[in-house]
């Protein structure tokens, strides 16, 4: 316990010299640290019962952070491990995508050339044994610790396969499994590529360059950052620099105790073709940095809805036991000087997140508020708007009218998932024989009326009361979503997006329209005639 106090003391003491030149402020900070230390000793030494100080110290840290901005936060060791895995881009395991179905682990897909794939594990196999022990009835949260492990370690599994008697044994050597940050890359139309980046991890730019190489010959790109919550700053800066001339400012980082830093494009623009960037209300941090820089330099047409508005820079401070504090130390600004962070009141985290939740529920008009400050872009000097988040050049309303309450219940109650697992279990081989290529599947596949009736019956059996009006209202989008999920399981993520985007993604449809009519709809945005 004394070591914990000492660690806190060292942490705070290390920060104090950088808290400004005002000696009085330093004196006050020392006094408050002494007060905190005194209370800790009193509590630990005199409280009537024995006290586990770990949760108390953690609660104290969380309480202090709650009085600050909405994004300064405390992460436990477990949360840090998960976060590190997400940004590092890999973990060690057997390489299967799975779900729990009928009390067993059902393999949805295997990672191509991954450990499980190499030994012959197939989609729709059911894992019923792990290292000689039955895992029938296992809970979903208990699966990762059993499948993951050190690289080179051995895992023995028993698999039940449709049409094969008995339990098939497999010995698998665990290996590093990549966690990709690019969900899709494909040719959207002649000369137009599409790339979906879900976050910024250690491998993002490597993945992006590989995706661009596969899309060789394109002279236009739709960069989809919708739902991208950010990640590693250096990867976001490098992505923006991919489209900008060398030395262009991408963002400025400004804080109270640090000098203003200008982050610039390190190389000359690697792609100079037509560019449209898609953002939405869940595009945050690094994705806003990219969109803001490309907008300020009149490099891309931004399509979609106002972004999240997270422009605060967090620095990770280890706490010595695997946990860490992510403390806000600076703010991002776009090249034109816009503040990305939307307004907040210190200590009112709940109100801050409630406001965003209201946006997700569709409580947004899309109209430009009067208090949005105006800025000028750096090339054509057109007007863009600050005040938090990135305002798109072309606003696309979130069309929620096709989504009925009945459809929402089907998804929330797991009916979609269960239907797909049973459908693929029965039809995978027939589908691959009938549609050997995605192009054939995309052109002619649809669910039969009998298939959809099975979906309704399954929903009823799970307690979702049939709503005929709701079903008819949402039937088209339901068929499209389910077909996209079938495509994902048969061909891959890119094919899933390739099927779904033109059918349900209005921002994507508009981006394609802009590309096809670039002179009228692209150039006029980037170079308006006054």
Q: How confident is the model at residue 295 (pLDDT cuts 50, 70, 90)?
A: very high
Note whether 146 and 197 are same-domain residues: no
Q: What is the pLDDT of residue 13?
A: 44
Mention every residue, 6+ apart, whose C-beta is less than 8 A from residue 171. Answer: 119, 154, 155, 156
From the CA atom positions of the chain, what is the Rg in Å?
26
Helix (H) or strand (E) holding 486: helix 468-490
Please say if the pLDDT value at position 459 is more than 60.
yes
Final residue before a domain boundary, out of 378, 396, 414? 396
Residue-wise pLDDT for 188-218, tens only, equals 999 999 999 999 999 999 999 999 999 998 9
> Is residue 302 domain-resident?
yes
- Give 359's pLDDT tier (boundaries 50, 70, 90): low
Asked whether the beta carbons of 175 and 87 are under 8 A apart, the reply is no
Q: Do 416 and 373 share a domain, yes or no?
A: no
Task: Let me know if residue 485 belongs to a domain.
Answer: yes
Q: Are 172 and 190 within one domain? A: no
382 is a domain residue: yes
CB 426 within 8 A of CB 454: no
**Of residues 488, 509, 407, the one with CA closest to residue 442:** 488
Model pLDDT for residues 165-182, shown as the tens digit of each residue:
899 999 999 998 888 999
Split at pLDDT 50, 70, 90, the class of 187 is very high
Domain final residue, candidates 178, 200, 232 = 178
Say yes or no: 335 and 387 in one domain. Answer: yes
Q: Are residue 467 and residue 388 in the same domain, yes or no?
A: no
**Does residue 513 form part of some domain?**
no
Summarised one tens digit per residue, pLDDT across range 389-423 is: 999 999 998 877 788 999 999 988 889 988 998 99
Is 2 a residue whose pLDDT tops 50?
no
pLDDT on residue 47: 83
- 22 pLDDT higher than 70: no
CATH number of 204's domain = 3.90.226.10
pTM reported for the whole predicted model: 0.86
pLDDT at 363 over 60: no
Q: Taking 90 as the threshold, does the pLDDT of residue 81 lie above it? A: no
Q: How far is CA 54 from the centre of its chain?
A: 31
Decide which of 51 and 249 is more confident: 249
Confidence label for 530 from pLDDT (cuts 50, 70 and 90): low
Number of domains in the chain: 4
Phi, psi of 378 (to 5 degrees): -90, -10
Identify whether 66 is part of a domain.
no
By mean pLDDT, which of 34-48, 153-167, 440-454, 477-491 is the weakest?
A: 34-48
E strands, 85-232, where?
A: 90-93, 96-101, 104-110, 126-130, 133-134, 154-160, 168-173, 175-178, 182-189, 192-197, 220-224
Name the phi and psi angles at 134, rounded to 5: -65, 135
Check whether residue 486 and residue 450 sit in a common domain: yes
Per-residue confidence (pLDDT) for residue 522, from 0 to 100: 96
Q: What is the pLDDT of residue 7?
A: 45
Beta 324-333 vs 374-376: how paired, if at all?
unpaired
* Residue 148 forms part of a structural domain: yes
Question: Are 372 and 279 within one domain?
Answer: yes
Domain final residue, candidates 157, 178, 199: 178
Q: Is 259 inside any structural domain?
A: yes
CA atoms within 13 A on the CB side of 279: 31
DSSP class of residue 98?
E
Same-domain check for residues 416 and 372: no
Asked if pLDDT for residue 464 goes beyond 70, the answer is yes
pLDDT band at 24 (very low <50, low <70, confident <90, very high): low
What burial class does residue 147 get, using C-beta atoms within 10 Å of its C-beta: 0-12 exposed, 13-18 middle, 19+ buried?
buried
Higher local confidence (pLDDT), 305 or 8: 305
Q: How many CA atoms lie within 13 A of 521 on its CB side?
A: 14
Closest CA to 509 of 402, 363, 394: 394
In a domain, 202, yes or no: yes
pLDDT confidence of residue 518: 97
Q: Look at residue 149 and tell me whether its pLDDT is greater than 60.
A: yes
pLDDT at 15: 45
* Other Cβ atoms within 10 Å of 411 Cβ, number: 13
Least confident of 214-223, 340-349, 375-384: 340-349
132 pLDDT higher than 50 = yes
Q: What tokens appear for 64 in the block? A: 């202090």
Q: Is the pLDDT of residue 9 over 70?
A: no
Cβ count near 184 (within 10 Å): 21
Strand partners, 105: 100, 127
**125 with 47, same domain?**
no
Question: What is the mean predicted confidence (pLDDT) over 255-282?
Answer: 91
Task: Count Cα neighbours of 456 within 13 Å in the Cβ-side half-sphere.
Answer: 16
Closest to 308 (Cα-Cα) out of 338, 282, 345: 282
Domain that holds residue 308: 182-313+328-396
Kindly state whether residues 366 and 351 are assigned to the same domain. yes
* 363 and 289 assigned to the same domain: yes
Q: Which range, 390-399, 422-431, 434-443, has the best average confidence (pLDDT)?
A: 434-443
- Do 249 and 337 fall within a single domain? yes
CB 473 within 8 A of CB 408: no
């Amino acid at each position: 316990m004394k070591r914990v106090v000492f660690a806190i003391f060292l942490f705070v003491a290390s920060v104090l010299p950088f808290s400004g030149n005002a000696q009085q402020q330093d004196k006050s900070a020392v006094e408050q640290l002494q007060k905190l230390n005194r209370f800790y000793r009193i509590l630990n030494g005199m409280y009537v019962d024995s006290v586990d100080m770990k949760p108390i110290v953690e609660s104290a840290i969380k309480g202090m952070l709650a009085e600050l901005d909405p994004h300064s936060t405390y992460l436990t060791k477990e949360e840090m491990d998960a976060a590190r895995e997400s940004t590092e881009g890999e973990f060690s395991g057997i390489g299967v995508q799975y779900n729990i179905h009928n009390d067993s682990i059902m393999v949805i897909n295997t990672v191509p050339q991954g450990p499980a794939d190499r030994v012959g594990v197939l989609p729709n196999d059911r894992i019923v044994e792990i290292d000689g022990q039955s895992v029938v009835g296992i809970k979903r949260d208990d699966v990762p610790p059993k499948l993951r492990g050190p690289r080179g370690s051995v895992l023995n599994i028993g698999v039940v396969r449709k049409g094969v008697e008995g339990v098939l044994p497999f010995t698998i050597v665990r290996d590093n499994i990549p966690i990709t940050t690019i969900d899709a890359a494909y040719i959207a139309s002649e000369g137009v590529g599409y790339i979906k980046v879900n976050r910024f991890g250690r491998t993002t730019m490597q993945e992006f360059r590989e995706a661009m190489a596969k899309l060789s010959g394109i002279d236009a790109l739709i960069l989809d950052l919708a739902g991208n919550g950010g990640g590693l700053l250096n990867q976001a800066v490098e992505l923006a620099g991919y489209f900008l001339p060398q030395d262009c400012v991408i963002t400025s980082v400004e804080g109270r105790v640090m000098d203003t830093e200008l982050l610039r494009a390190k190389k000359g623009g690697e792609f100079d073709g037509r560019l449209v960037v898609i953002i939405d209300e869940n595009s945050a941090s690094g994705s806003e940095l990219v969109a803001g820089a490309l907008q300020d330099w009149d490099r891309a047409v931004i399509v979609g809805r106002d972004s999240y508005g997270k422009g605060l820079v967090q620095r990770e401070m280890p706490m010595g036991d695997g946990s860490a504090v992510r403390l806000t130390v600076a703010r991002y600004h776009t090249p034109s000087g816009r503040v990305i962070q939307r307004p907040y009141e210190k200590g009112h985290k709940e109100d801050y997140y409630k406001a965003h939740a209201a946006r997700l529920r569709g409580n947004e008009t899309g109209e430009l508020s009067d208090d949005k400050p105006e800025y000028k872009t750096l090339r054509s000097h057109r007007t863009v708007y600050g005040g938090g988040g990135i305002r798109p050049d072309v606003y696309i309303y979130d069309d929620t009218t096709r989504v009925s309450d009945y459809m929402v219940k089907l998804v929330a109650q797991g009916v979609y998932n269960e239907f797909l697992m049973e459908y693929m279990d029965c039809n995978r081989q027939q589908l691959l024989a009938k549609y050997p290529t995605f192009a054939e599947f995309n052109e002619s596949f649809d669910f039969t009326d009998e298939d959809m009736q099975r979906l309704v019956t399954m929903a009823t059996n799970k307690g979702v009361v049939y709503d005929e009006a709701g079903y008819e209202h949402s039937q088209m989008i339901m068929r499209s979503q389910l077909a996209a999920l079938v495509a994902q399981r048969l061909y891959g993520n890119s094919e899933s997006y390739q099927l779904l985007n033109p059918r349900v993604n209005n921002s994507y449809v508009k981006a394609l329209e802009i590309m096809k009519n670039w002179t009228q709809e692209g150039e006029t945005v980037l170079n308006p005639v006054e």
